[in-house]
Amino acid sequence: MSSKTKVKLSAWSLYLCNASMFLYILWLFLPVLQNLTGLLGGLITIALFAVGILLDIDYLRTKGIELFLRICAIILLPVCAFFFLHRGNNFLAFFFQHAMFWYPAAFCAYARQKNDSRITRGLLYALLFSVLLTSSTTIFWAIYCRVHNLDNYSRIISMGWIPEETADYIMRRNIGGYDLSYALGLSLPLICALIHREKGWLRWAFVSALLLLFLTLIATDYPYAMLLALITLFVVLAAWMFRFIFGLFHCKLSLGISLLCTLPLLLLFFLFRMQLIDFGAWLFSALHLENIADSFVEMRLVFTGQSSLIYQSDSRLIFFGYAWDSFLASPLIGTLGRVNSVGVTNTLAEHYAALGLSGHSDVMDILASMGILGIIVILLLIYTACRGAFQGIRKSPSFPYIILMFCTLFCMCLGATMVYSREIMLMLCIGTLLLMQHEQKHMTPVTNPTK
């Protein structure tokens, strides 16, 4: 094959991969589009990426083994989640759903290795358009429901167990729920990084985006995502405050050190969590925002281990206890997916008690079903699937913010189920990639990769 043909095929590879991620962002962050196209829309985007990779002859020759290992890891991860963690009811449906969860990592690894601006062209606009549109429609329907005394659709979808017809009704109105809440909460450190780096009208634009983020979290009415977002924002604001105070005494404090200085404040936050939660419930109740006040009441029930009054179910602490008991019974290899008892389970608590899992924490359930060795295996698979996706983050001026984002992700996996939320991995990978490219563009002269 001539070199000219290889160059043409490589260019087509970049265009197809770019189109794949462009469509994937729109498909994932626009519920109305996802409802219209179904799983087929997601599979088309993956197929475009696969064809693009196959056209890149040089990449297949030099990175073929790495690509093969990445594909094997992406195949094994949903298999482990289905058979050991008992995620999903239908294997094929869950397999395709969770395999797409890792697609952004594979895309970003390829983009970092190619280092060509054509592969990410227009992705920022697609991300901003889809997220802003879904956030706006979610806020609109939340206000509409409140004014007309209707059910809060976003609150219903955040519960995670709604009937299929209700989910279709909500998605046709482009309302974001559980997945959007966590994805927006995860993007908060990236937005704060841009507020920190930019100046003038761009800084105020990102401040407006931050306010819209919190309005959307309030509209989706999901208490755990809201709590994580508030804690993350508290950490960032406290770090900025430390930098400002030290600056008054002509002592320059690095961003990383200032973030570490917030750890004692987080300890105080944890010690006085009940008082802060009670204050939040009282404040929003006084403002006649009953849904948000109820969310704070739910948080209090979680921390005290009591049953939920709103969702009519046991506290997550009780479910966590099932997983912890399973881990203590076999800490090395776990239960290996075995069911503790047979028979009909009438309640959610009985179901997870029979499985010996929490059902609400990916980290706890991996420990319970696969033990310490299982955690090591899963981490190796994740490393293989994501290898190269975050290449160069240590050199990024926003590295502390990226680390904060990973800490937020760990807290999400510790206290909730993330294996279904493809939006989270998309925001993590594409958000980091676009932030680093934005920084590189402002630090180095613009060059044309085609010359």
For range 98-127, the mean pLDDT = 92
Average pLDDT over every residue of 155-179? 67
pLDDT at position 302, please? 66
Q: Given a cut of 70, is residue 449 above it in pLDDT? A: no
Report the C-alpha gap between 336 and 342 in whole angstroms.
16
Residue 357 has pLDDT above 90, yes or no: no
Q: Note the pLDDT of residue 310.
A: 45
How much is the pLDDT for 448?
43
In 3D, which of 34, 120, 215 has the Cα closest to residue 436?
120
Query: How many angstroms separate the Cα of 211 from the Cα of each of 30, 110, 417?
Result: 20, 33, 26
pLDDT above 70: residue 228: yes
Mean of pLDDT values over 58-74 = 93
Task: Give dist(CA 211, CA 137) in Å, integer.
Answer: 15
The per-residue pLDDT for 348 is 61
In angstroms, the CA 82 to CA 95 distance is: 8
Average model confidence (pLDDT) across the chain: 84
pLDDT-derived band at 73, boundaries 50, 70, 90: very high
Euclidean distance between CA atoms 295 and 281, whole angstroms:
8
Taking residues 251-262, report their average pLDDT: 89
Task: Average the pLDDT over each of 141-145, 269-273, 294-298, 309-313 and give the range with the smallest value.
Answer: 309-313
Long-range CB contacts (within 8 A, 24+) of 50-55: 51/16, 52/12, 52/13, 52/14, 52/15, 52/16, 52/17, 52/20, 53/13, 53/17, 53/110, 55/9, 55/10, 55/12, 55/13, 55/16
DSSP 45-77: HHHHHHHHHHH-HHHHHHHHHHHHHHHHHHHHH
pLDDT at 118 over 80: yes
pLDDT top residue among 131 and 142: 131
pLDDT above 60: residue 4: yes
Amino acid at 371: G
What value does the mean pLDDT take over residues 90-108? 91
Q: What is the DSSP string of 330-379?
A: STTTTTTT--S--S---SHHHHHHHHT--SS-HHHHHHHHHHHHHHHHHH
**What value does the mean pLDDT take over residues 278-287?**
84
b/e string for 225-263 if b means 16 or more Cβ within 10 A? bbbbbbbbbebbebbbebbeeeeeeeeebebeebbebbe
- Quote the radius of gyration of the chain (alpha carbons, Å): 23
- pLDDT (0 to 100) of residue 402: 94
> Average pLDDT in the 128-134 region?
92
Least confident of 58-67, 153-162, 319-328: 153-162
Choice between 412 and 343, residue whose per-residue pLDDT is larger: 412
Q: What does the block give as tokens for 45?
A: 């985007």
pLDDT of residue 223: 72
Rounded Cα–Cα distance for residues 52 and 20 (Å): 9
Q: What mean pLDDT do residues 392-411 have?
A: 91
Q: Please tell me which residue, 126 or 341, carries the higher pLDDT value.
A: 126
Q: How confident is the model at residue 347 (pLDDT cuts 50, 70, 90)?
A: low
Residue 445: pLDDT band (50, 70, 90) is very low
pLDDT level of residue 167 (50, 70, 90 thresholds):
low
Q: Which of 51-60, 170-179, 299-308, 309-318 has the highest mean pLDDT?
A: 51-60
User: Domain locations in the chain?
Assistant: 116-443
Residues in the chain: 451
Res 75: pLDDT: 94
CA angle 357, 361, 363 (to 5 degrees): 95
Average pLDDT of 95-123? Answer: 91
- pLDDT computed for residue 76 by the predictor: 95
Least confident of 58-62, 162-166, 402-406: 162-166
Structure tokens at 247: 């600056």
CA–CA distances in Å: residue 167 to residues 15, 69, 164, 172, 173? 34, 36, 5, 9, 10
Instruction: Average the pLDDT over each of 278-287, 339-348, 434-443 and give the range with the smallest value.
Output: 339-348
Q: What is the pLDDT at residue 443?
A: 59
Chain segment 183-220, per-residue pLDDT in tens: 999 999 999 999 988 888 888 999 999 999 888 887 77
What is the distance between the alpha carbons of residues 180 and 133, in angstroms, rounded to a whole number?
12
Asked if the model's pLDDT at residue 153 lies above 80, the reply is no
Least confident of 37-46, 232-241, 307-316, 422-431: 307-316
Nearest to 102, CA basis, from 72, 82, 122: 72
